[in-house]
Each structure stands twice: as structure tokens, then as C-alpha cells.
Amino acid sequence: MARKSITPEILQVLEPYLDRKDNEWWNQTGERKPTLPTTSDNKVNVRQLVQEIGRKPSDVQHFFNKNELYDPINVLATVQSIGPIGSRVISKNDDDIARNELSRAKSTSKAEHEAYVEAVAEISRLRKENEQLRAMKNYFQETGCVLRQTEIKY
């Protein structure tokens, strides 16, 4: 029943494609327009993307099912202010912060880069905290028990 994964094969062409789209986005002057293909309601147009990377239309399903494929696309989608395919990596909140930061990131001064790195680091910290809480919730739903996280009060 074991099957060969198609993900590495797709990733091989997706990765340079996304780098190219990122550079196209970054090198625009004036008001930036998304370089990823979009649908009429401003979401990533997966069908067109699949076509642009030279894959067959039936591969579209993998872009909805496999986070290894939709996660990197969505990172770039939030950067370009378009609706992601949907993933655990990008929350609505991250999206808003990224959009706010985006206006600053249009210029490339070192200080602004640092500010952006700090903002992303803060999101990362919060995300980690959420993951820990989610893990605790899963633990007590599975086992009925809790894992003590505080010191014992004497």
C-alpha cells in the first residue's frame, strides 16, 4: 500500500518559481501588484499556478492537501496581500501584521529590515506559545490528565 510521494518532485519546480515571483514582486517600483496568479476574489489561483510551473491539472489537489506545498505559497501570498490557500502557518492575525509591515518594507533601509525581523520574531514567539497550549489541550483530551507546568507550592 506504500506509495511514492509526489511532493519532492513538485517542490523541485515550485521552489525556484516562488523565488522568481518574490524577486519580481520586490523589484517593482511604485504601487506593487501581486506577482502570484490570483482569482477574482484576490486569492491564490492554484490552477493557474500549477499550469505556470508546468505540472498537470490533476496535481491541483496536492496543493490543497499537502502543507509542504501550500505553506511556502501562502508565505508569499501574505507578503503580496492576497488570500492564502489556507494553512496552519498563517493566521489572520499574522496576515494583518504582515500587511502593516509591508508598507515599511517597501523601502529597504537597514533599520526597517531590523524592525521587520523583530515583528516577525514576535509573531513567532506567540505562535510557539499557541502551539504549547494546543499540545496541552490535545494531551488532556487524549488522556484526561494534565502535565504540571508550575512549581509545587509547599
**Residues at the interface with other proteins (CB under 8 A):** 1-2, 8, 11-12, 14-16, 18-19, 22-23, 25-27, 64-65, 67-69, 71-72, 75-76, 78-79, 84-89, 98, 101-102, 105, 108, 113-114, 116-117, 120-121, 123-124, 127-128, 131-132, 135-136, 139-149, 151-154
Query: Residue 82: how many CB atoms within 10 A of its CB?
Result: 20
Helix (H) or strand (E) holding 136: helix 110-143
Task: Find cell 490570483 and name the residue.
Answer: 38
Residue number with CB closer to other proteins (8 or 57): 8
Question: Measured from the CB of residue 56, what is the shortest distance to other proteins in angstroms?
Answer: 19
Question: Measured from the CB of residue 118, what is the shortest distance to other proteins in angstroms?
Answer: 10
**Coil, helix or strand for 84?**
coil
Question: Measured from the CB of residue 147, what is the shortest distance to other proteins in angstroms?
Answer: 5
Question: Measured from the CB of residue 51, what is the shortest distance to other proteins in angstroms?
Answer: 19
Sign, CA dihedral 7-9-79-132, equals: positive
DSSP state of 152: P
Residue number with CB closer to other proteins (56 or 110): 110
* Contact by Cβ (8 Å): 98, 116: no
